[in-house]
Each structure stands twice: as structure tokens, then as C-alpha cells.
Amino acid sequence: MSTQIISVLVEDEAGSLTRMSGMFSRRGINIHSLTVSPSEKEGMSRMTIVTTGDEREIEKIEKQLNKLIEVVKVNILDKNTSVVRDLCLLKVYADKENRAEVLEIANAFKSNIVDISIRTITLEITADPLDIDRFVETMKNFGIKELFRTGVTAISRDIEKKSGG
């Protein structure tokens, strides 16, 4: 069982998100995250779904998705040749005593400070989901007040063909 990222191009019709998520629940497949956004094609959206399954299970999901009328294209993204990003907003407790330390770690993870109050700091980080996991784990030491993650979005890299020379 490994995490898989499925990118789906769907027609923008009322109900297509329900139809998509309904297929997963009906077939007993867990969705870790699901993001929907406009695509480069007019009238079409892109959904990025993260789920787990072995090769055969993912093949089944791919086929079931392809059966949905609104689904135009299904891509199983290869993690090695894709750019994968997740955005996280995190509000961490930071008082006088540990504020410097929190900021140091935030800096090390290349996260941005988006808000500060007397007791908390709100940080924003866009990164590979695994990096965000580590970031969140580290921040747990100070106490996390609130945590928001957008879920994964991903795009495949264009592999340039080697030129003859």
C-alpha cells in the first residue's frame, strides 16, 4: 500500500464533485485529500486526489473514474517525475520565552510569518507534503493552536528529450 496521486480533468458540471467523491465511498476507497481548481481548459476543472492502494487497486480506481461521464482524463502521477505541493497555515503558541526558537525553526523550514499576536505566531508554508509533516511535527513541541492544510495539488514534470549531441 502506497500513497498515490491521481489527477483528474473533469467537465465543470453541477454535481461532478459529488459524483467523483461518491464513486470513492461507494467502492470503499479512502480519500486522503481532494482539491478542486480551475484548469487551463475552459469549462473544465482539475481534481487532485490522494489515496492509498497497490498497483491493482489504483488501476481499478482509474477505470472507475474513467467510466464517469464528466471525467475527461485521468492521470496517475509518478511521484518521481512530478512536482507535489501542499499549503499549510499553522498557528503555534509562542510566548516571550520560546518565540525566538519558533522563529528560528520557521526560518529553517522556509515558512513565512503571516500573523503575530502576543501569544501566537501564524506561519504559512508551501512545500512537499512530507516536508510539511516534519514541519508540523516539530511545531507540536510548542503547542499548535490551529492547523489548516489545503490538500495536495500536483503537476507532472516535462521530461526533456536528450538532444543528439
Partner 1 sequence: MSEGLKGTEIVVKCLKEENVKNLFGFPGGQLIPLYDELYEETDVRSILVRHEQGAAHAADGYARASGDPGVCMATSGPGATNLITGLLNATMDSIPVVAFTAQVPTKAIGTDAFQEADTFGITMPITKHNFLVKSTDHLSWTIKGAFKIANTGRKGAVVIDLPNDVQQNRSKEYHHGEVKFAGYNPSIVPNPLQLKRIAQKLVEAERPLILAGGGVILANASEDLRLLAEYLGAGVATTLMGKGAIPENHPLSLGMVGMHGRLGANKMINNCDVLLVIGCRFSDRTTGWGLESFAPDAVKIHCDIDSSELNKNISVDFPLVGDANLVIRDLIKFIKKFEDVKKDTNIWRKRVNQLHSMCEECETVKPNGKLTPEIIIKTINNFLDDNAIVTTEVGQNQMFAAHYYITKKPRQFISSGGLGTMGFGFPAAIGAKVAKPDSQVLDIAGDGSFLMVCQELATAMTEDIPVVVGILNNSFLGMVRQWQELFWDKRYAGTKLGTLPDFVKLAESFGAYGERVEKASDIEKALKNAFDSGIVSVLDFKIESETNILPMIPPGGRVDEMIGVGRCRHK
Choosing from 1, 15, 28, 161, the residue that interacts with partner 1 (CB under 8 A) is: 15
SS3 assignment, position 26: helix
Cell of 36: 478542486
Q: Which three cell numbers stand for residue 61?
A: 480506481
Pick out residues in 51-110 that bind partner 1 (CB under 8 A).
56, 59-60, 63-64, 66-73
Neighbours of 39 (CB within 10 A): 17
Residues 32-51 that bind partner 1 (CB under 8 A): 44
Shortest separation between residue 63's beta carbon and partner 1, angstroms: 4
Cα gap 135→106, rounded to integer Å: 8
Q: Which is nearer to partner 1, 55 or 104 (CB)?
A: 55
Is 11 or 128 the residue whose CB approaches partner 1 more closely?
11
Specify whether the CB–CB gap between 102 and 113 falls below 8 A. no
Toward partner 1, which CB reaches closer, 43 or 164?
Answer: 43
The dihedral sign for the CA sequence 36, 86, 33, 94? negative
Closest approach of partner 1 to the CB of residue 53, in Å? 14
What 3-state class would DSSP assign to 98?
coil
Site residues, partner 1 (CB under 8 A):
10-11, 14-15, 18-19, 22, 26, 44, 56, 59-60, 63-64, 66-73
